[in-house]
A and B are shown apart, each in its own frame.
Chain A
Amino acid sequence: MRLAELKDKLSLKPMNDVYDKEVEGAFVSDMVSDVMAGARPANVWVTTQTHKNVVAAANLVDVAAVIVTRGRPVSDETLEMASRAELTILSTDLDTYSLVGKLHEAGV
Chain B
Amino acid sequence: MATEACRHSWSMTDVRYGFIVVEKCYHCNDERSYFAAEHVPPKEEYREGEHFWDYMGSSQSVQLNLKCEQCAEVVDLRELLGLMTCSGCTDECDLNVLSRICESQRIWVYAALTYDPDVEMKAHMAEKLAVLSQYFNDRIRTEGKKILVVPGWLVHDIDTCHGSVLRDVGMFEVEPEPQTT
Residues of A within 8 A of B (CB): 21-22, 30-34, 36-37, 40-42, 52-53, 56-57, 59-62, 64, 84-86
Contacts and interface: CB of A to CB of B under 8 A. Distances in A.
Interface string B47-87: 00000000000001110100000000000000000010100
What 9 A-B pairs are tightest by C-beta distance, nearest first? Answer: A33-B62, A62-B140, A56-B85, A41-B139, A31-B168, A37-B62, A41-B141, A37-B15, A33-B61
Contacts of B64: 37
Contacts of A31: 60, 168, 171
Secondary structure of the A contact surface, majority rule: helix
B168 A60 contact: no
Q: Which secondary structure dominates chain B's binding surface?
A: strand
Interface of B: 12, 15, 17, 60-62, 64, 83, 85, 103, 108, 110, 136, 139-142, 145, 147, 164-168, 171
Contacts, number: 63
B166 A37 contact: no
A84 B15 CA distance: 30
30 contacts: A31-B60, A32-B166, A32-B168, A33-B17, A33-B166, A33-B167, A36-B62, A36-B166, A37-B62, A37-B64, A40-B139, A41-B139, A41-B140, A53-B164, A53-B166, A53-B167, A56-B83, A56-B85, A56-B164, A56-B166, A60-B83, A60-B110, A60-B136, A60-B147, A61-B136, A62-B139, A64-B141, A84-B103, A85-B108, A86-B142
Interface centre among B17, B136, B139, B168 (most CB of A within 10 A): B168
